[in-house]
Structure 1
């Protein structure tokens, strides 16, 4: 629930009282209210000059009516609580989210006419407005509206504005609640079929295929004894060494690792909008991450800037609930990712070599660091092609989807030459045509021929 309730105990805003608040409420007089007040003052002056008592009573009535309305609305304004419920807080581009607004009257007197208005970015649609009739003491009113966006991003909702009017239309006061909620619009994802991905190399004899194991060596590092541990797992050598009871950790299967590399260089892409090459790459990277996590891979998102998401544990996701949290973190990152100012892929290369952007994991040239690498490249020149070719590990499978700027713009291109150089280094490299279906390209990557010394993985 969005914290849309006003500050103070019991939904009461304690900061708007006093003479300052009354002066602000007086500014809410409408044209009709100001006219009544002016007419009452004029009638009172005329009654004093002419000595007409009846006219003085009329003037007092005209002047008192808007003032009484100001006092009533001033009290009501600070005794109305508002809240917001956003469901869900994370949606895919083009999908709808539901926003529910609730207004509670916590005072002992009924409210007048209420007008609700929630502030939303123009990308999500028109600003919603609602009119609520009288709310009884202790009563509640709920209204809802829907928002959607075709553009990924993070959009604030709120603050909620409440406008109160009296039955005579003499006063109109506006109340703004301070809190807001965030709607995260993540890239669209496409369901992918499981395929066996493999690299390709040359000059090493016959080709071979090795599946990426989803189980590895037992974790035999001992830990401190905890109540309820089986005494048969006591590690006596560590117990004698540390002077306290130590037990062997439970067997933990080692998950296969996968890295999704997203090229975000501004110089590597042309155009903008939902149909641009960069948005295609972001959506394809999101689809790949979701698919890999569903297949049991320990995955991470890496950009050309060398930053890895999630950032802990070598940059890779863990299992169970932590994997779901890592997936949400990666999707949130893709929701707001933009172009980088980097001119090359050197920082991504260094992150792969070190095993996770300085997090201390195994790199692609070290034992245990081999894993599946799926890259989405923009435009590549000779230097960046050579650097990208070196990113492939010694035995890990590597797949590259190249979004050549000239190909997307319909100009002559040398993308086939770039693909040939990547394939010679062991990559499974595919050129992405303008608006190509990623699911079909994914299947093509799974049907790519194997070269010698290549490793494959069921993905």
Structure 2
């Protein structure tokens, strides 16, 4: 085996390696400055240090002064400058009168409180009209006394305030609060901040102690137990003419054939006839309900009418989910999840009216694409949806599907009509939904 030869010392590669090693030794030598260090010590490094100084030191101090405080500070500085330069006693008096409130305001925001704040919501999901209750606990974990302060709790666009008294060492103060839930929404509760400010609002110092939490206000729904049998098929579904060796609906008995499941052997008949007999079943079609919510803003006369439509769609979807039937709920732009009941209601909470102008027949086409084997399609629409649009959407549905449109017209009486092969019922309130669907099933 031949010995491995070393590269000549005067080759191009060897010279490049020597040059790189020499450069590295110089960079590592004491007192030397690498390119990265030079960048940090040059203009970019100076800028980075200035930004870090502003964020860590100056901005927290400057942020304490309110816009009114900045105006007073600017006016005081101008009066001091002009008064002292021109020796105008009047301006000096005005400057002093403006400076004194700033100094007093500074005394109000001095000091630092060390709270331990807990924000606790009793539940993160409620129904419209049900109050959400929570509590805020402010504790003093230090061995010293903390002076009184004000606590602010943000709830959506509003802010709740309450006073925290003087807290001795290891003491705590608890405040209960209730969140009104008049409309369907996702409310952000929090953060919780302690606030110190002066009576003139020249300076304000706030510290965030607890982060925000989400509160889902689900749409109001009604149970449709009595009406469910009217518009949804029973659990076994609609029998077909196809025979099967394994299904739900029993059809007849037949002779045993190799490959048949032994579990379907009818032993009583086998003992009587002396030969193996198995049960013959009839294939069935399980109920598959599609709930299509029209969320085009132009089809609704008011926000209340749109909320009625969301509640109606959510009620039908909820009833179908409880009965463990196959369900496909969707809107023009989104599809609601059905993995859990909570997820489905959360998705209905997020439904918003669309401002875009979209052809309504796409709702029927989407139902046909998502559930081609559906047994019933429930379209929930507004008062401005025309009969022509409903007929156009119904024509996109598969042949043989049961199509029902629920028109939501605020304050209207329950009525029933037909457009082509689609039943149309009108409701004026959520409480009449069960009666309207019961009428469809007759």
Same fold (TM over 0.5): yes
Matches within 5 A, 1:163-242: 163-164=195-196, 173-177=205-209, 179-195=211-227, 196-198=229-231, 211-213=234-236
Q: For each residue in 1:14-63, what CA deviation from the matched residue of structure 2 results, as whole angstroms up to 9, or x when unmatched?
A: x99975488469869xx9xxxxxxxxxxxxxxxxxxxxxxxxxxxxxxxx
Counterpart of 1:431 (choices 413, 426, 430) is 426
Residues of 1 paired with 2:362 and 2:375: CA distance? 19
Matches within 5 A, 1:33-432: 74-76=111-113, 79-121=114-156, 127-164=159-196, 173-177=205-209, 179-195=211-227, 196-198=229-231, 211-213=234-236, 256-270=287-301, 272-274=302-304, 276=305, 278-305=306-333, 307-310=334-337, 317=338, 322-333=339-350, 336-354=351-369, 356=370, 363-364=371-372, 369-378=373-382, 379-381=384-386, 383-403=388-408, 419-422=417-420, 425=421, 427-432=422-427
Give the direction of change, closer, same or farther, for the CA distance of 1:346–1:68 in structure 2 (3 Å limit): closer
Cα shift at 1:388: 2.6
Contact 1:400 1:428 in 2 (8 A): yes
SS at match of 2:434: helix
Give the direction of change, closer, same or farther, for the CA distance of 1:81–1:404 in structure 2 (3 Å limit): closer
Cα shift at 1:440: 2.2
Contact 1:293 1:299 in 2 (8 A): yes
Contact 1:267 1:343 in 2 (8 A): no
Residues of 2 paired with 1:303 and 1:187: CA distance? 15
**Structure 2 unaligned blocks of 5 or more:** 1-52, 70-102, 239-243, 248-283
**Structure 1 unaligned blocks of 5 or more:** 1-14, 32-64, 200-209, 220-252, 311-316, 357-362, 449-459
SS at match of 1:420: strand
Residues of 2 paired with 1:25 and 1:267: CA distance? 45
Give the root-mean-square deviation of aligned CA atoms: 4.4
Is residue 443 of structure 1 aligned with residue 438 of structure 2?
yes
Q: For each residue in 1:299-337, what CA deviation from the matched residue of structure 2 results, as whole angstroms up to 9, or x when unmatched?
A: 2322134x3222xxxxxx3xxxx333443443333xx42
Q: For each residue in 1:355-388, what CA deviation from the matched residue of structure 2 results, as whole angstroms up to 9, or x when unmatched?
A: x2xxxxxx42xxxx13332111233435413223
Give the direction of change, closer, same or farther, for the CA distance of 1:173–1:254 in structure 2 (3 Å limit): farther
Contact 2:194 2:206 in 1 (8 A): yes
Q: For each residue in 1:181-200, what CA deviation from the matched residue of structure 2 results, as whole angstroms up to 9, or x when unmatched?
A: 2222221111222332359x
Contact 1:163 1:172 in 2 (8 A): yes
Q: Which of the two has greater strand per residue?
A: 2
Give the direction of change, closer, same or farther, for the CA distance of 1:16–1:254 in structure 2 (3 Å limit): farther
Residues of 1 paired with 2:409 and 2:132: CA distance? 35
SS at match of 1:131: strand
Q: Could you tell me which residue of structure 1 aligns to residue 31 of structure 2?
A: none
Residues of 1 paired with 2:406 and 2:147: CA distance? 61
Query: Larger Cα Rg: Structure 1 or Structure 2?
Result: 2
Cα shift at 1:404: 6.2
Contact 2:154 2:192 in 1 (8 A): yes
Cα shift at 1:99: 2.1
Q: How many residues align?
A: 313
Residues of 1 paired with 2:353 and 2:311: CA distance? 13
Contact 2:365 2:397 in 1 (8 A): no
Residues of 2 paired with 1:392 and 1:212: CA distance? 23
Contact 1:262 1:375 in 2 (8 A): yes
Cα shift at 1:180: 1.4
Provide TM-score, normalisation by structure 2: 0.59
Give the direction of change, closer, same or farther, for the CA distance of 1:84–1:398 in structure 2 (3 Å limit): same
